[in-house]
Amino acid sequence: MKKRFQLLLIAMLVALLATPAAAADTVYNFTVHQHDPQTSHTGMMLDALKADLLEKSGGRIVLDIYHGGAMGGPRDTIDMLNNGVCDIGWGLQSYFPANFPASEVASLPLLGIVSTNQTNNVVWDLYKNSEVMQQEYSKYKVLLLHGHSGSIVGTKAKKIDNFAGFRGMNIRVNAGPTTDFVGVVGAAAVGVPITELYNAIDNMTIDGVITDLSAVQSFALYEPLRYYLDENISVSTYFLLMNMNSYNKLPDDLKAVLDERTGQYLVDNAYKYWVLKEDECRASINRVGGEMYKFSDADRAAMKEVAGKIALDWIAAKEAAGLPGQKLYDLTVSLVEKYAHLNN
């Protein structure tokens, strides 16, 4: 009996000793959903992240990326994350205004942002230093919050060569403060999915679009577009979020790997893919004979006056809804100035 008991203890000890070794060999596969093409700035960033995590984890963190909306549309991302359909999702906060009302502050028009690097640091710093922003994302593991350098106004048939030129036009925008801007300048804001935008421009279902140059390049919008008002109307912000249950499946050593290669690391590196696409887009526009131009000082001043009124209305609406609108706005303005030197 004693010998049998000893053998049992040995067997239990062997099993206990074997458990960490088995866990150390476990591979964790995570499904990633994003709606841009694989060749886009987003696709390039995520493919680079996949390779980076694979290397740093010794092959134990594997991202299975579904590019181009293969799993669902742009407005499905949050539901897919919440329901565990995907483990990680990339998308735009503007598609989910009820989920991310405070995040709209970075998309207020004409804040003075001039580069993607600047935007990324502004948005990430805003998240790190704002309790209400952190609350918006509290149910997720936040891998990255970021944005682009600013939006042009692209048109096919009509050149908007002065402030009054917006009137009567149908302009595609994302939701959020840019919609307010379009309405105030006398145009109609139209919602068109990014995947249908090329045809909408080409067929002149819409007159113009407010979007960033990296998106113009990624979706070949430089082909139907002809004129580009290059005034950095506003920025769109993006999220890269992970289902918290999926994150918690990782052992501590792999959580450390994921934490190290996301967050501030991505803030410092992801902008390069947007800059690459912006540079490619300017070359594409030149190649097909597109025209980029700017407003006069007087027309730019008129736009800024409108933007100031929109900011005041936004602040008042958020305060009425119980959010610290003024505090969020003031912090954002200060961060735009703080990172103004990041003009690349």
Q: What is the pLDDT of residues 184-211, one digit of tens each?
A: 999 999 999 888 999 999 999 999 999 9
Q: Residue 338 has what pLDDT?
A: 98
Q: Residue 23 has what pLDDT?
A: 62
The answer to whether 234 and 110 have CB atoms below 8 angstroms apart is yes
Q: Does the predicted model carry a pTM greater than 0.85? A: yes
Rounded mean pLDDT, 71-83: 96
One-letter amino acid of 193? P
C-beta contacts of 128-136 below 8 A and 24+ residues apart: 129/331, 130/102, 130/328, 130/331, 132/102, 132/323, 132/324, 132/328, 133/102, 133/103, 133/328, 136/99, 136/100, 136/101, 136/102, 136/103
Mean of pLDDT over the chain: 92
Give the separation between CA 221 and CA 205, rounded to whole angstroms: 14
Strand runs (DSSP E) across 138-180, as ranges?
A: 140-147, 151-155, 170-172
Q: What is the pLDDT of residues 12-28, one digit of tens each?
A: 443 444 444 436 789 99
- pLDDT confidence bin for 8, thresholds 50/70/90: very low
Q: Nearest to residue 46, comparing CAs of 174, 124, 144?
A: 144
Rounded mean pLDDT, 287-292: 97
For the chain, domains (ranges, CATH) are 2-100+119-147+236-277 (3.40.190.170), 151-235+288-338 (3.40.190.170)
Residue 297 CB partners (closer than 8 Å, separation 6+): none
Any bridge partners for residue 92, and if so which?
Answer: 238
- Asked if residue 302 has pLDDT above 60, the reply is yes
- Asked if residue 2 has pLDDT above 70, the reply is no
Rounded mean pLDDT, 224-240: 96
What is the percentage of the chain residues whose pLDDT exceeds 90?
90
Q: How is 277-312 classified by DSSP, letter by letter?
A: HHHHHHHHHHHHT-EEE---HHHHHHHHHHHHHHHH
Positive or negative torsion for Cα 129, 178, 195, 39: negative
Residues 42-59 as b/e (b if ≥16 CB within 10 A, e otherwise) read: bbbbbbebbebbeebbee
Give the separation between CA 278 and CA 290, rounded to whole angstroms: 14
The answer to whether 33 and 86 have CB atoms below 8 angstroms apart is yes
CB-count burial class (<10 Å; 0-12, 13-18, 19+) for 341:
exposed
Give the separation between CA 11 and CA 8, rounded to whole angstroms: 5
- pLDDT confidence bin for 10, thresholds 50/70/90: very low
- Asked if residue 5 has pLDDT above 70, the reply is no
Give the separation between CA 340 and CA 337, rounded to whole angstroms: 5
Rounded mean pLDDT, 76-99: 96
Q: Nearest to residue 236, comparing CAs of 202, 197, 264, 194?
A: 194
Rounded mean pLDDT, 164-169: 96
- pLDDT confidence bin for 145, thresholds 50/70/90: very high
The answer to whether 315 and 180 have CB atoms below 8 angstroms apart is no
Give the separation between CA 191 and CA 174, rounded to whole angstroms: 7
Residues 161-178 as b/e (b if ≥16 CB within 10 A, e otherwise) read: eebebbeebbbbbbbbbb
Give the separation between CA 142 and CA 263, rounded to whole angstroms: 7
Q: How many residues does the chain have?
A: 344
